[in-house]
Chains A and B, each alone.
Chain A
């Protein structure tokens, strides 16, 4: 799927398009050269226009509530759409503008808080939704512009720190805003409660229907998503979008060409902030309350992981990132499900890799045998080593494979966890047979740590997974799943 950058499009036989470097085009073509029947299929898929994909996706997403009646699942679907919107907005700043905005979720918070102030009993204001939402979006856009102003002269790193501090400041203001100059503005740590749902005239868009999540918000969010997606797509293909990309690649050259670089940066900041604020209104209206701690570092990392995983710069990519990460985080909350996910990922990963090299296939088999052996030996020495509690996944197969002590002595968790980190780092350092040999105990140790240490505390564990994904992605595949690999001319 070619997105954001012009070199991604299929290069016609007569040569690159105007304004495209010939060398870059040739290399891009080589990468996309289809081969064999699979290649032909890939080529066919690649030619499907973006709007067809969008309609397909929306159609598939909108049938979800038909099959799924659980309020929880519907709610997760709704929050996934919110994440998709957030990722789209961040993509404008990071992917197209090339600016590291670490205060992004503060604008999400500003949107939510602004809506909550304009539509709740807090100040007794109840604006109609059609007035308040555009107003909030404008507030977000102006806020983004103002934050960008002092930082516009500054390069990436300074911008990162100013925006990160801004996020911290947003926290301070919302948490302490219950006593600002003698007025209670933000409700402090207790937040603002009883926020109105979206309403048109006298009709409320109900949040709950017979006690479970009402699906209407899911459809509203999906509609907003479609509008934002298309609008941003057009912006990206416009003069402004091209200017963004050019200043991202080389601000100096762009400036020399007469582009207003600072203005462009501010504009991309504003766009991102406006999308975040819009998403914030959806959040506030649905959850009927806002609290300061919702909009903090954790959320920032989650949205960044989505954008980076999907491939920053590609709209389809960041949406895919959100669709993967959001449900993943939900599944990892539950130990039973996260065990299944872990073993599926482990087996899947080994299978995938063993297709590429036979040695890894052998490693997989040896690991399996190693596990059973370790389990039997330790069990023979002392029964309490394997008497740990099992919820019995995979028909008890893992019960006979992974060692689980009946009670975890205090030293086991830190030792095994730090040992695992050391083992993983060691595996990346050595080469050849030694690496394969080391892989066996490392994989086993991973399973041990996951079963005994991580599953006991899902909250930090799922964020650790996120952090690992982020670091590994930056090193192994910085362009993400669907992002463009940049062909750099040195």
Chain B
């Protein structure tokens, strides 16, 4: 029972971060029908921005600001930095290819991903960066929290999950309750018709990239609070995030959240009960199963093509 609870806590932390990444994929895919391979690397850049801010503010041993402000500033800086990065990527690598054959922006995205990962390695080296959150305020982020049975739920995990869910609620509000969100949904539904209705498509797409990349940046910091980051994580993280988006139904925002959580649970439980080494295999099997039996994903619409 304790193992089960512990794994559930792990799954929730892992899954909420996956959901943040999956949201970025799903938003961009919904509007542009483009698989943004560079998204995982934007996540990686976000985790490095968070690290940079942490170092600027004195590191974990003697921070110059209160702990809560430090965390907020790290997440905010990563969100802003990644949003700018996302807009630049869209403007220069994807926009010129918007009317090209489908395969062209995909290859360009691969190039961007490779470029980002290697540029970061060039500038900051391949050594892992550890936030050393344990040193922060006498390890209170680890020791505080609450207990469920014998399982200790650390404050850090609560912060991660709550922050991720706050961001998702904000996103839901933006997409469903604002004018820009309405424009996004319209564009996603039918880009040409939306353009005819006077929606500025370029603006909507830029806004989508801002949202998606900002979420990736926040996810990068939240993830790196617990796990050290390197310049090479983008590939695997992007893969997992995209799998989550596909499982949930690509293009659907609640689907991405559900997919992220499912992936988190699948990975955490297969690591806990079966083997840490083979969890990739299990996740891949789930992906294949979805591809065969429910290609539109959990909450996605089936794609009906009119010829």
Contacts and interface: CB of A to CB of B under 8 A. Distances in A.
A64 interface: no
A311 interface: no
B35 A464 contact: no
Contact of B246 (A158, A172, A413, A475): A158
Interface stretch (B106-114, B138-146, B264-272): B106-114
A150 B122 contact: no
Contacts of B114: 297, 301, 463, 466-467, 470
A162 B122 contact: no
A160 B35 contact: yes
A261 to B, nearest CB: 14
B119 A417 contact: yes
B106 A100 contact: yes
A151 B291 contact: yes
Contacts of B277: 172, 176, 179
A55 interface: no
Contact of B92 (A100, A425, A459): A425
Interface in B115-144: 115, 118-119, 121-124
Given A160-B35, A470-B114, A471-B93, A168 B291 contact: no
Q: Which of A463, A466, A471 has the most CB of B within 10 A?
A: A471
B122 A154 contact: no
A471 B111 contact: yes
Contact of B284 (A169, A414, A460): A169
Contacts of B107: 100, 304, 308, 470, 474
B235 interface: yes
Interface string A152-183: 01101110111011101100110010010000
A470 B106 contact: no
B243 A161 contact: yes
Contacts of A98: 103
Interface string B86-98: 0010011100110
Contact of A162 (B29, B112, B124, B287): B287
B92 A428 contact: yes
A464 B122 contact: yes
A138 interface: no
A478 interface: yes
Contacts of A100: 103, 106-107
Contacts of A461: 118, 122
B283 to A, nearest CB: 8
A153 B295 contact: yes
Contacts of A469: 111
A413 B105 CA distance: 30
A450 to B, nearest CB: 11
A232 interface: no
Interface residues of B, number: 46
A173 B112 contact: no
Given A161-B243, A172-B278, A172-B281, A475 B97 contact: yes
B242 interface: yes
Contacts of B96: 475
Main secondary structure of the interface of B (DSSP, over half): helix
Interface string A84-104: 000000000010001010100
Contact of B118 (A151, A425, A464): A464
Nearest to A188: B277
A180 B137 CA distance: 43
A413 B110 CA distance: 25
A457 interface: yes
B288 interface: yes
B307 interface: yes
B97 A160 contact: no
Contact of A474 (B97, B243, B284): B97
B110 A304 contact: yes
Nearest to A179: B277
B118 A460 contact: yes
A454 B236 CA distance: 26
A478 B100 contact: yes
A5 to B, nearest CB: 14
Interface string A454-490: 1001011101101111110011001000000000000
Interface in A244-303: 252, 297, 301
Interface in B257-307: 277-278, 280-281, 284, 287-288, 291-292, 295, 307
A154 B115 contact: no
B102 interface: yes
A110 to B, nearest CB: 16
Contacts of B71: none
B278 A161 contact: no
A296 B124 CA distance: 22
Contacts of B110: 102, 301, 304, 470
Of B91, B107, B119, chain A has the most CB atoms within 10 Å of the CB of: B107
Contacts of B242: 161
Nearest to A472: B111
A224 interface: no
A102 B35 CA distance: 13
A173 B110 CA distance: 24
A165 B284 contact: yes
Given A162-B288, A454-B122, A471-B93, A157 B106 contact: yes
Nearest to A176: B277
A168 B295 contact: no
Contacts of B115: 464, 467-468, 471
Max count, chain B CB within 10 A of own CB: residue among A162, A454, A475, A478: A475
A453 interface: yes
A160 B291 contact: no
B235 A475 contact: no
Contacts of A453: 122-123
A254 B254 CA distance: 36
A478 B97 CA distance: 10
A100 B105 CA distance: 11
Contact of B123 (A102, A252, A297, A414): A414
Interface in B63-106: 88, 91-93, 96-97, 100-106
Contacts of A154: 291, 295
Given A168-B239, A464-B119, A425 B103 contact: no
Interface of B: 29, 33, 35, 88, 91-93, 96-97, 100-108, 110-112, 114-115, 118-119, 121-124, 235-236, 239, 242-243, 246, 277-278, 280-281, 284, 287-288, 291-292, 295, 307
10 contacts: A98-B103, A150-B292, A161-B239, A164-B239, A168-B280, A425-B92, A460-B122, A464-B122, A470-B114, A471-B111
What 9 pairs between A and B have smallest CB-CB spacing? A470-B111, A467-B115, A471-B111, A176-B277, A467-B114, A474-B108, A460-B121, A460-B118, A460-B122
Given A457-B122, A463-B114, A470-B114, 13 more contacts: A153-B295, A156-B103, A158-B291, A162-B288, A179-B277, A297-B114, A297-B235, A425-B92, A460-B119, A468-B115, A471-B93, A474-B104, A478-B100
